[in-house]
Amino acid sequence: MSSDANPQYQQYPGPPSGPAYGSPPAQQPPPGAYQPAQQPVPYVEPGAPYPQQGGGGQPPYLPPGAYVPVPPPPPRGGRGAKVAVAAILSVVLIAAVGAVVLFKFVLKGGPDPAESFPSTAAMYVEFNLDPSFDQTPKLLEHLSKFEDLDYDSTDDILADLLEESGLEGVDAEEDLSSWLGNRHGLAMWDFNGQPYAVVSLASTDSGKAEDGLAKIRAAAGVQEDQMAYTVEDDHVLMVVGETGAADALDAAKSEAGSSPLSASSGYEEARSWLDGDQLAVYWVDIDGIAQLADMAPADFEQLSQLYSGQLIAGFSAFDDGFELSYRHFGSEDDPWTGSEDLLAGMGDLPAADFAATAHVPENIGEIAEEALGAYGLLYGGEVTAEPAEPALDPLTADEYAEYLELEAGYYAGTLTAEQESRYLDLENRYWTAGTEEDPWVDDYDYGPTEEEVQAMVTEFTDLLAGADLSFAGDFSADEGVSPESMLLSAHLAEDRAADLQALVEELVAEEGGTLPEGITSEGSEISYTGSETASGTLSEDPRFSDFAAAAPDRSAAAVWIDFAAAAETFPEDFEGAQALSAFAWAHGSDNGDGTGVLRLYLTD
408: region left, alpha or beta (phi > 0 left; psi from -120 to 50 alpha):
alpha
- DSSP reduced 3-state for 284: strand
Could you give the dihedral angle defined by the CA atoms of residues 498, 504, 510 and 511, in that order, rounded to the nearest 10 degrees? -140
Per-residue CA distances from 324 to 273, 275, 494 (Å): 14, 12, 36
The answer to whether residues 338 and 466 touch, using CB atoms and an 8 Å cutoff, is: no
Please give the backbone phi and psi of residue 239, each rounded to the nearest 5 degrees, phi first: -125, 130
Q: Can you tell me the mean pLDDT for 557-579?
A: 92
The residue among 593 and 41 whose pLDDT is bigger is: 593
Of the candidate ranges 217-231, 436-450, 529-543, the one whose mean pLDDT is the lowest: 436-450
The residue length of the chain stands at 604
Q: Encode burial over 181-198: b for 16+ CB neighbours within 10 A, e otherwise.
A: bbbbbbbbbbbeeeebbb
Chain segment 364-412, per-residue pLDDT in tens: 988 888 777 655 544 444 444 455 555 789 999 999 999 999 999 999 9
The answer to whether residues 396 and 436 touch, using CB atoms and an 8 Å cutoff, is: yes
- Residue 334 has what DSSP assignment? -
Assess whether pLDDT exceeds 70 at residue 146.
yes
Per-residue CA distances from 341 to 360, 488, 554 (Å): 13, 18, 8
Amino acid 56: pLDDT: 42
Angle between helices 154-165 and 135-143 (to 10 degrees): 50
Amino acid 152: pLDDT: 80
Chain segment 279-290, per-residue pLDDT in tens: 999 999 987 877
Per-residue CA distances from 345 to 339, 359, 493 (Å): 10, 11, 16
d(CA 343, CA 341) in angstroms, rounded, equals: 6
Assess whether pLDDT exceeds 80 at residue 472.
yes
Chain segment 482-495, per-residue pLDDT in tens: 999 999 999 999 99
Assess whether pLDDT exceeds 80 at residue 110.
no
Kindly report the average pLDDT of the chain as a whole number.
Answer: 78
Listed by start position, the domains of the chain span 55-106, 113-318, 336-379+448-602, 388-443
Amino acid 69: pLDDT: 41
d(CA 498, CA 505) in angstroms, rounded, equals: 11
Q: Can you tell me the mean pLDDT for 429-435?
A: 92
Is the CA virtual torsion 347, 349, 352, 354 positive or negative?
negative
Residue type (1 letter), 266 = G
Chain segment 198-208, per-residue pLDDT in tens: 999 999 999 99
Amino acid 280: pLDDT: 93
Amino acid 128: pLDDT: 87
The residue among 342 and 130 whose pLDDT is bigger is: 342
d(CA 525, CA 545) in angstroms, rounded, equals: 26
Of the candidate ranges 319-323, 512-516, 564-568, the one whose mean pLDDT is the lowest: 512-516
Share of the chain above pLDDT 90, in %: 49
Count of Cβ atoms closer than 10 Å to residue 426 Cβ: 18
Q: How far apart are the first and last CA of the chain?
A: 52
Among 531, 592, 538, which Cα is nearest to 565's?
Answer: 538
Chain segment 38-88, per-residue pLDDT in tens: 444 444 444 444 444 444 444 444 444 443 344 444 444 444 333 333 333
Amino acid 6: pLDDT: 41
